[in-house]
A and B are shown apart, each in its own frame.
Chain A
Amino acid sequence: MNHTHLNKTPFLGCEGVSVQFFDRETPALSEMSVSIEEKESVLLLGPSGSGKSTLALVLSGIIPRSVDAWMKGTVYRPDRVGVMFQDPDAQFCMMTVEDEIAFSLENRMVPPAEMRGRIEALMKEVRLDVPLCRRINELSGGLKQRLALACLLALEPDVLFFDEPTAQLDPENTRYVLEDIRRLHGKKTLVLIEHKLDGAMEAVDRVLLFGSQGRIEGEGRPEDVLRDHADAIKRYGIWTPRLWPVTWPELLLPGHELGASLTQQAARFEQRAVETQMEQAVRKADAPLLAVQGGGLTYRSGLRVWSDVDVEVRPGEWVAVVGANGAGKSTFLKAVGGLHELTEGKVLWKKKELKSYKSEALYDAVGFVFQNPEHQFIADTVYEEVAFGGKLAGWPQEQVQAETERLLVDFRLEELRGKNPFTLSQGQKRRLSVAGMLLKNQELLLLDEPTFGQDAATTEELLQRLAERNGQGTTILMATHDMEIVAAYATRVLVFAEGGLLFDGQPQELFARPDLLRHASLNEPLAYEYKRRVREREEGAVHV
């Protein structure tokens, strides 16, 4: 009888919902009203901490059922929903693929006799082409997310939520997941939170743009929101699709606005390439800072990561280390940083074997920024975290203070100085972990995917700071998946693939070889791709 009060009950939605977590001073959502139709696909876009995840948790019923929070308002939801989370490892409880999907079916009290058939059908549906008894920890991150999807589809949900499903995946595995989402578009109701929008936008009908303070700032068709709120999106540091809604055929038409700016960018890269080439030629005369000779690494399990690696790094270089997940990028950084011993060959630091250095001496000259910022946190406050190295080295107090202050300002951490590092947001943690490593002005800085999972603003800022250091002479070795960064910043690229060093040279040489990129499953930077396609089209036209 309540139905008479509402003109229409939404298929999925909420009315006047406010949520506040008990450990926060401000609400995560305030007076939010959302209505989503059946089979509609909605993208929640916004800066980190704007309440996107909270809304997804409320709509899926996880708040207040599984997560404690103060909440008011009404939520409308069909009975069955499924949620995919960002951590591929933290969604499972069984050892094998088969048992994990069965777990979903068991919860729904499906008769055991029916299960085998259903499990096989589900695996086929999500294209998880592995044996039933495959152990989950042997799957790549992308395949784990495919398994997670199979487990959700086993619940026969009316709505699927995706809460940053690709946040912890490399480009190749990201493609798997986005492919799955595109396939579900139009078949299920989808609520998507995603930062990597290339390949995701095609599966979106409507965008809700979150501002700060848990409110919706704009909504509408994706192309309209991206256009009408372009300033806010830039201000919030939200990633935008590289190309979408523009398609390649459109872009290749003469006189396209984006085409013109890409041509400019390509010209800048070319200019850079020429300068880099000259710099590198000059550097050739310098003694190498770091050298790997006949380097090889085999794990105790017998798994060979790479072998026959010969690399020399000279002062002032910015070397990007790229390759698919598992190709051994991190291991390479650890090996040259003295954190993982080689099983073959040797590493030389300033012509002397790395092993012969004491760790104090070595880490006064070499800094290492780890993939997970938390791993390196050792102090109780942000200030102490940055000052730690200086205090330990016995610097005079004034010097410690002056240098620390400068870094806190540079990395916009001055207002957080008294906070515990573990309580910071993801972007703040990353900035702090880099700031803490820069205090001693090390000659060599090793960075393991420092921009991974960061928003556009933090990424830009971090790269600026690193470029400054590099300009002052700091040598940088950085593992990354982002080829745009490689194109714009690196003076040299090392490509790891197939158990070895597949390529060692300047970025423009790498990007001139699309075959090699495909081989190592690397993306082509947009400007390079544009130039290549324009060239191919012109050549095609000539042939005709």
Chain B
Amino acid sequence: MSETDSLVSRVNPSIKLFLHLIAMLLLIVAKDPVTTLYLLAIPVLLSLTVARIPLKRFLVRIAPFLVLLATTTWMLAAYGKGTTVVYELGWFRFTEEGLSNGLNIGFRTMAFVSYGLLFTETTDVTKLVLSLMQQCKLPPKIAYAMLAAFRFLPMFKEEYEQVKAAHRVRGVARVPGIRGKVQAVLRYTVPLLAQGIRKAERVAVALEARGFDGSWNRTFYRTVPITWRDGVYLVILAVLHVGVWVLVK
């Protein structure tokens, strides 16, 4: 997760998370593809305007999910039940009901992804965890464990590459048979787990040695406040949703 400097990135992360979840609930309620398409436009519009995510970056991030959109829509449209046949191609029967259902689900998935993207692209992970502690009363023990774990992700990837290379030299993949192949994959996990568990233990000991006891007996260097920006963001989302409602009524 990273952060662009924008209105959305200054919204309190917990509030943002809550608002996005509500918007997603509304998406589930929407039943026709046109409404869903309008609703999908909201996070896309926000991403490119008030969140100031560059268009190219947005497209790169969302591209993999377009494949998902295409396949779900195709599957549901081509195999869905329905009576009004729109188009026939070999044994694919596109019905109006199937198509509508397929597009609806497809757009909904895209909208979910867009809200997720809008969140992760504008939220600093430290601020998120601090906010979860300060606004949602997440226990510090869990919160700081989450942060420590997050630090390990890039290290884990590097470690995985190393193990993969080492196993290639030793010829693990050459062990014949399906059993051999399965074992080859399992063998990656042992050094990764061993290392992971050891690192986690070390961090836990080191943090305790620095006086961390997991309790609320602590001060906060940074507070993640609730500000007028949260209200503005709420209003923007509300207005846009009302707009959609007016459009489709």
Contacts and interface: CB of A to CB of B under 8 A. Distances in A.
A337 B199 CA distance: 29
A359 B164 CA distance: 13
Top 10 nearest A-B pairs (CB, nearest first) are A102-B221, A107-B211, A90-B202, A376-B166, A93-B148, A91-B206, A375-B166, A339-B165, A66-B208, A368-B169
Contact of B170 (A90, A151, A378): A378
30 contacts: A66-B204, A66-B209, A85-B205, A89-B155, A90-B199, A91-B206, A93-B144, A94-B126, A95-B126, A95-B147, A95-B151, A102-B221, A103-B221, A105-B221, A106-B220, A107-B218, A109-B217, A109-B218, A137-B151, A151-B210, A360-B171, A363-B169, A368-B165, A368-B169, A370-B162, A370-B165, A375-B166, A378-B187, A392-B171, A392-B175
Interface residues of A, number: 58
A85 B202 contact: yes
* Residue from B163, B170, B223 having most chain A Cβ neighbours under 10 A: B170
Most buried by B among A360, A366, A388, A392: A392
Interface string B111-126: 0000000000000011
Given A99-B126, A375-B165, A422-B191, 16 more contacts: A83-B206, A89-B199, A90-B199, A90-B202, A92-B203, A103-B212, A104-B210, A105-B219, A106-B220, A107-B218, A360-B171, A368-B169, A370-B165, A378-B170, A378-B172, A392-B175
A155 B159 CA distance: 33
Interface string A423-466: 00000000000001000000000000000000000000000000
A66 B205 contact: yes
Choose among B126, B144, B207 the residue with the greatest number of A CB atoms under 10 Å from its CB.
Answer: B207
Nearest to B215: A107
B155 to A, nearest CB: 7
Contact of B212 (A83, A98, A102, A107): A107
B174 interface: yes
B247 interface: no
Contacts of B165: 334, 339, 368, 370, 375
B234 to A, nearest CB: 28
B194 interface: yes
A485 interface: no
B195 interface: yes
Contact of A93 (B187, B203, B222): B203
Contacts of A416: none
Interface in B150-190: 150-151, 154-155, 159, 162-163, 165-172, 174-175, 187, 190
Interface in A47-104: 60, 62, 65-67, 81-83, 85, 87, 89-96, 98-99, 102-104
A176 interface: no
A372 B162 contact: yes
Contacts of B212: 103, 107
Interface stretch (A110-118, A191-199, A519-527): A110-118
A377 interface: yes
A368 B169 CA distance: 7
Nearest to B140: A106
A295 interface: no
Nearest to A107: B211
A62 to B, nearest CB: 6
Contact of B203 (A91, A137, A389, A422): A91
A377 B163 CA distance: 9
A155 B171 contact: no
Contacts of A378: 167, 170, 172, 187
Binding site secondary structure of chain B: helix
A108 interface: yes
Contacts of B221: 98-99, 102-103, 105-106, 112, 115
Contacts of B195: 374
Contacts of B159: 375
A214 interface: no
B169 A339 contact: yes
A94 B144 CA distance: 8
Contacts of A108: 211
B168 to A, nearest CB: 6
A422 B193 CA distance: 11
A375 B190 CA distance: 9
Contacts of B169: 337, 339, 363, 366-368, 376
A209 interface: no
